[in-house]
């Protein structure tokens, strides 16, 4: 897949985030781009090298920092997302004018509590609302791609819900839980979304 079509996705990988990840992936695919996520291929993979390769191979990237703070007092902060954002911002610095990135948060200025060095970046807050997330990703891709204007975010959201209906039905027919992130590999989910979207447009 060519550099200009790839979108590196840096986000939490857990069931709580899955209701946001699925529409995020769907929107990227609908906008004729290819989501790239870190997915272990074999036991010898060194994860940070795989992430570096994904970043280097992707013109676009979307970083969601909405889970950096611990849920409970006994939990620790989650540093993977800001670490990967740092790698990407470093890459963007050395590839001046080439790479584009979107930084997402749950609340607009909350990131300053844990990663104030990114102040000055344009941070978008989705408030854990998947509809808002779809609009933000669609609008950002329209702005940075500068191609033909995509359809309204409301149409993408309606189509996404049609996909979810079909996906959930098929998953349950195979005795799998459609709400569990690890039931199928990301690559399979992306392939299913891509095929479904092609059948509709």
- Taking only the tens place, the pLDDT of each residue in 63-104 is 998 877 666 677 666 678 888 988 998 898 888 888 999 999
Residues of the chain below pLDDT 50:
42, 113, 117, 119-120
Domain ranges in the chain?
3-200
Q: Which fold has domain 3-200?
A: Rossmann fold (3.40.50)
Backbone angles phi, psi at 87, to 5 degrees: -60, -45
Which residues are CB-contacts of 47 (< 8 A; sequence separation ≥ 6)?
A: 38, 40
């Amino acid at each position: 897949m060519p550099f200009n079509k790839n979108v590196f996705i840096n986000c939490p990988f857990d069931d709580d985030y899955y209701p946001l990840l699925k529409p995020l992936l769907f929107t990227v695919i609908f906008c004729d781009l290819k989501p790239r996520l870190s997915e272990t291929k074999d036991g010898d993979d060194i994860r940070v090298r795989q992430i570096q390769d994904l970043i280097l191979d992707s013109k676009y990237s979307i970083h969601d920092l909405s889970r950096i703070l611990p849920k409970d007092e006994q939990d620790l902060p989650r540093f993977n997302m800001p670490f990967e954002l740092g790698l990407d911002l470093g890459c963007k610095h050395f590839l001046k004018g080439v790479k584009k990135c979107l930084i997402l948060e749950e609340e607009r200025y909350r990131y300053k509590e844990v990663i104030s060095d990114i102040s000055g970046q344009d941070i978008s807050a989705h408030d854990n609302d998947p509809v808002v997330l779809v609009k933000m990703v669609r609008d950002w891709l329209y702005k940075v791609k500068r191609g033909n204007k995509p359809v309204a975010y409301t149409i993408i959201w309606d189509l996404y819900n049609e996909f979810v209906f079909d996906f959930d039905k098929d998953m349950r027919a195979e005795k799998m839980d459609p709400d569990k992130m690890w039931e199928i590999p990301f690559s399979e989910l992306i392939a299913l979304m891509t095929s479904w979207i092609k059948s509709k447009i």
